[in-house]
Chains A and B, each alone.
Chain A
């Protein structure tokens, strides 16, 4: 078991390095000069050269990558070209806001999906099943940014239950656990939770209905086990698959939050990426993407390890 976890950790290193390489190369697929954002078009050559030296752009590409990587490992993501502030500081607060939103939405979506899917799988072909199927088709088909708009129209402009924008009263960007902030969280989290909801419902439904027909369940029934203990067996067998799908979905949700954050003016990474892209602020773009991807890589690692803990066959195979 320990050796499996160790191998899995080792395998993550090349992937993480690959992610840093792709993120770094984004500068080079970007058209135009990254200095355009700060230097005027008619700046004298000496000024341009000095700026290039200051940002390390005068070095060969592999050297630039090496330096960038070394600094990134130490937590220094460089300075934003547009604002001149430390990227790590800007990314830090934005990522924590995004992760808050994503974890609440992810938890809610996965939990609801499991419950609905289990009910639908248990009463296979029944009314609950039909309802869950329709809901899951809607869940995978709905453009979530549009859903966010519709929820804003209904719950903010009509009913006035929840605020339409921002993460707190008065446009505050710092999260606190109080009633006013929680009210701001409801609509964006609900919107985002639809992303995993559809797929999880579908996965759990198929898993449960298939598993209930398997011989080990029939054997358990024959031994006279109650529905409740049979459920425990089914849950444990379904857990690894559900975990794997949930991990992927929560990653997708971290990306999807970019769009939903734009709808609700949530001060997270989506907002930051938008600024970075439209001001052509490459260090900020790289920093944000790198941090989000590292969370995703870490999440996948965690899911794999948890899977092997639940189902030891995974570690052995």
Chain B
């Protein structure tokens, strides 16, 4: 109806501000990001990597676990194996595609957990305030006193090797960071006049948090956690690289780097290949996070 009116009269009946208003805040952010060429390129790159990982069972050219001792460490560009073979003669294209599944999960799951748990703790601590807030934040200060890699290695090491243990370790590293941001925003917002007004007009605590506080907290926390995605993936693959994460024969980029290390003298580029994918994914995550930050106009 609206477009037809424009087409007929040739005059835009609504001022452009009203149009962008009607799309809502998050739609506006998306539109802004879609005008950023860097964001587009990184989104495409990320989609390709995710697609290859998700559709690995359909696309993979060879068997995931079956190798041949006669075809160990073939170079990149071999006729039968496009990206060569690993130390057990397994096809690298297949391993890399499947490897992306666990590596991407290593990036996403801990951050998602930290997002949910950290925001909740931060909201509660910030909203209640007083000694609850003080105690929560002082306890978290202790976790801040650990360098993050060390904390992840310590927890994963104490719990014992395994994918789920390293996911727990990573989430534990990120939760205090998210809590700190959620808490500081909540504490600021809680004292604003319109929150007071809502409280006076009889709104329940839950609806004040949901309607007035959460909306303010989600933005900064969301931007921060998207920045954590690449950290989480690098650390998660790093734990596998140390032998603390995913166990062989499952493919994971960090673990593949570890098992291929003995081959760096014989076939260096195949040995370095899994790292290239960690690098590319993490660059894409970081560039998207940067673009999101400037689209949401949050300065750090």
Please give the residue numbers on chain A whose beta carbons come within 8 Å of chain B beta carbons, in ascending order. Answer: 14-16, 18-19, 21-23, 26-27, 29-32, 137-138, 140-147, 149-150, 152-153, 157, 251-252, 254-256, 258-259, 262-263, 273-274, 276-278, 282, 285, 289, 292-293, 296-297, 300
Q: Does B142 lie within 8 Å of A145, measured CB to CB?
A: no
A103 CB, nearest partner CB in chain B, Å: 14
For residue B149, give the distance in angstroms from its CB to the closest CB of chain A. 3
Report A-chain residues with C-beta under 8 Å of the C-beta of B257.
Answer: 145-146, 149
User: A23 to B150, alpha carbons, bound, how many Å?
Assistant: 11
The stretch from B1-9, B156-164, B179-187 touching chain A is B156-164
With A145-B241, A149-B264, A277-B244 in contact, is A297–B145 under 8 Å at CB?
yes
B153 contacts A by Cβ under 8 Å: yes
Instruction: Known pairs A153-B272, A255-B146, A258-B242; list 7 more (Cβ under 8 Å).
Output: A16-B145, A141-B230, A144-B234, A145-B238, A276-B157, A292-B147, A297-B145
Annotate B167-187 by CB proximity to A: 1 below 8 A, 0 otherwise.
000000000000000000000
From residue A143, how far is it (CB to closest CB) to chain B in Å? 5
Contact present for A137 and B278 (CB under 8 Å)? no
The reply to whether B154 and A26 contact each other, CB–CB distance below 8 Å, is: yes
Cα–Cα distance between A150 and B244 once the two chains are bound (Å): 22
B160 and A256 within 8 A (CB): no
- Binding-face segment, B77-85, B125-133, B216-224, B282-290: B282-290
* Complex Cα gap A27–B154 (Å): 11
Asked if B108 is at the interface (CB within 8 A of a chain A CB), the reply is: no
Contact B279 A252 (CB under 8 A): no
Q: Chain A: interface secondary structure?
A: helix
Q: Shortest distance in angstroms between A264's beta carbon and chain B's nearest beta carbon?
A: 11
Q: Nearest 10 pairs between A and B by C-beta? A: A146-B275, A255-B149, A18-B142, A255-B147, A277-B157, A255-B150, A153-B268, A141-B283, A26-B158, A141-B282
- Asked, given contacts A15-B142, A22-B142, whether A149 binds B283 with beta carbons under 8 Å apart, the answer is no
- In the bound assembly, the distance between CA atoms of A99 and B249 in angstroms comes to 35
Q: Which of B145, B275, B278, B282 contacts A296 (CB 8 A)?
A: B145
On whether A251 and B147 interact (CB within 8 A), knowing A141-B283, A153-B272, the answer reads yes
Contacts of B151 in A (CB 8 A): 255
Contact call A19/B142, Cβ cutoff below 8 A: yes
Residues of A within 8 A of B261 (CB): 149, 263
Q: State the CA gap A140–B264 with chains docked (Å).
A: 24
| B243-267 contact mask (Cβ, 8 Å, vs A): 1 or 0 | 1100000000010010001001100
Contact status B264-A152, CB under 8 Å: yes
Look across to chain A and name the residue whose beta carbon is closest to the beta carbon of B271.
A149
Q: Do the beta carbons of B275 and A259 come within 8 Å of each other? A: no
Rounded to whole Å, the gap between the CB of B136 and the closest CB of chain A is: 13
* Candidates A27, A142, A146, A293; contact of B150 at CB < 8 Å: A293
**Contact residues in B for A138 (Cβ distance below 8 Å):** 283
Shortest distance between the CB of A97 and any CB in chain B (Å) = 16
Cross-chain contact B286 with A140 (CB below 8 angstroms)? yes
C-alpha spacing A150/B155, complex, angstroms: 29
Query: Can you list 8 contacts pairing A with B, beta carbon distance less than 8 Å?
Result: A26-B158, A140-B230, A143-B254, A143-B278, A145-B241, A145-B257, A254-B147, A256-B147
Instruction: Look across to chain A and name the residue whose beta carbon is closest to the beta carbon of B160.
Output: A31
Judging by beta carbons under 8 Å apart, are B264 and A157 in contact? Answer: yes
Known: A18-B141, A149-B261. A259 touches B282 (CB 8 A): no
| Assembly CA distance A150 to B257 (angstroms) | 11
Flag if B275 contacts A150 (CB, 8 Å).
yes
Interface contact A293-B159, CB-CB below 8 Å: no
**Residues on the B chain within 8 Å of A282, using CB:** 158
Interface residue? B138 (CB, 8 A): yes
Q: Is B237 an interface residue (CB 8 A)?
A: yes
User: Is there an interface contact between B141 and A146, defined as CB atoms closer than 8 Å?
Assistant: no
How far apart are the CA atoms of A277 and B159 in the complex, in Å?
9
Question: Does B71 lie at the interface of the complex (its beta carbon under 8 Å from any beta carbon of A)?
Answer: no
A256-B149 contact, Cβ under 8 Å, with A26-B158, A274-B242: yes
Decide: A153 and B147 in contact? CB cutoff 8 A. no
Q: Which residues of B contact A149 (CB under 8 A)?
A: 257, 261, 264, 271-272, 275
Bound Cα distance from A274 to B161, whole angstroms: 11
Hey, which chain A residues are within 8 Å of B285, CB to CB? 141
- Asked whether any CB of chain A lies closer than 8 Å to the CB of B120, the reply is no
In the assembled complex, B14 has its CB within 8 A of some CB on chain A: no
The distance in angstroms between the C-alpha atoms of A289 and B265, with both chains bound, is 33
Q: Is the CB of A19 within 8 A of B265?
A: no
Q: Are A296 and B146 in contact (CB under 8 A)?
A: yes
Question: Given the complex, which residues of B lie within 8 Å of A277, measured CB to CB?
Answer: 153, 157, 161, 244
The verdict on A22 contacting B238 (CB below 8 Å), with A141-B283, A143-B278, A157-B268 known, is no
Q: With both chains docked as a complex, state the minimum distance between the C-beta of B176 and any C-beta of chain A, in angstroms.
A: 12
**Chain A residues whose CB sits within 8 angstroms of the CB of B279 once the complex forms:** 141-143, 146
Residues in chain A near residue B145, CB distance under 8 A = 15-16, 18-19, 293, 296-297, 300
CB-CB < 8 A to A252: which residues of B? 147-149
